[in-house]
Amino acid sequence: MIALDHIVITSANPKKAAQEFAKKHQVVAVQGGKHQNWGTWNWLCHFNNDCYLEWIGIFDNSIAQESENPLIQNVVKALNAGLENIVQLAFRTDQIDVLKSDLIQFGHSVIGPVPGSRSLSDGSTLEWQMLFTVSDSNHPLPFFIEWGEKLPGSDIDLNQQRISHITVPEIDRQYYEQLLGKDNPLANTKLNFGTSFKYNIVN
């Protein structure tokens, strides 16, 4: 099973960006937490088809600059360039080791699984693993995430809206079709091809 997990959006101020989005779209955004080992923090907006938007920013630039995590490297690069936009997609899997073997068999180089965690407002910790496909393009390929015992948003009310489809760069079509098949069967949303990353929200 492969599903859209979340869309990563860089922001100099995740709280402000998330709250502005929530007001515009009449949804609820919530505080995520801090990734202490990466120097980043986030705000989130959860939808009822089991996916969410993540606005991610940096609270400690020295830690973020030194991170070897490919996602954090992309975040640092984007924010240093003053870009506040979609930087990457995350696809959810429940068999990350099997997926790693498949990607290697397809001829791709991978990084991971990389452990991740962030502290929650109630003092608990959210844990996960990430797997990255090495990409030479300026638009990173999606990374894959497998959650631990606790899922993000499991303790809050979801917005009734859903992300009906996502759009990814046409230039990467071969990768997505190799991964998902030509019908692009993501478990919880549709996938289209275009000139850049986009998403659509419907009631």
107-116: which pairs have CB atoms within 8 A and are 24 or more residues apart? 108/133, 108/134, 109/133, 109/134, 110/134, 111/70, 113/146, 114/69, 116/35, 116/69
Q: Is 111 exposed, middle or buried (0-12, 13-18, 19+ CB in 10 A)?
A: middle
pLDDT(154) > 70: no
pLDDT at 182 over 80: no
Q: Which of these ranges, 30-34, 76-80, 196-200, has the smallest mean pLDDT?
A: 30-34
pTM equals 0.92
Mean pLDDT over 106-125 rounds to: 85
Domain boundaries, the chain: 2-161
Q: How far apart are CA 13 and CA 59, in angstroms?
A: 10
- Is residue 155 predicted with pLDDT exceeding 70? no
User: Which H helix or E strand runs over 176?
Assistant: helix 173-180
Question: Tokens for 7?
Answer: 């869309």
Do 115 and 39 form a contact (C-beta atoms < 8 A)? no
Long-range contacts of 135-141 (CB under 8 A, 24+ apart): 137/169, 137/171, 137/172, 139/169, 139/171, 139/172, 139/196, 139/197, 140/70, 140/74, 140/87, 140/88, 141/172, 141/175
Give residue 124's pLDDT: 77
Cα separation of 43 and 35, whole Å? 12
102 forms beta bridges with: none
CATH match for 2-161 among 3.50.50.60, 3.10.180.10, 3.40.50.1970, 3.10.580.10: 3.10.180.10
Q: How confident is the model at residue 85 (pLDDT cuts 50, 70, 90)?
A: very high
Work out the number of other CB atoms within 10 angstroms of the CB of residue 195.
10
Q: What is the mean pLDDT of the chain?
A: 91
Residue 125's pLDDT band, with cuts at 50, 70 and 90, is confident
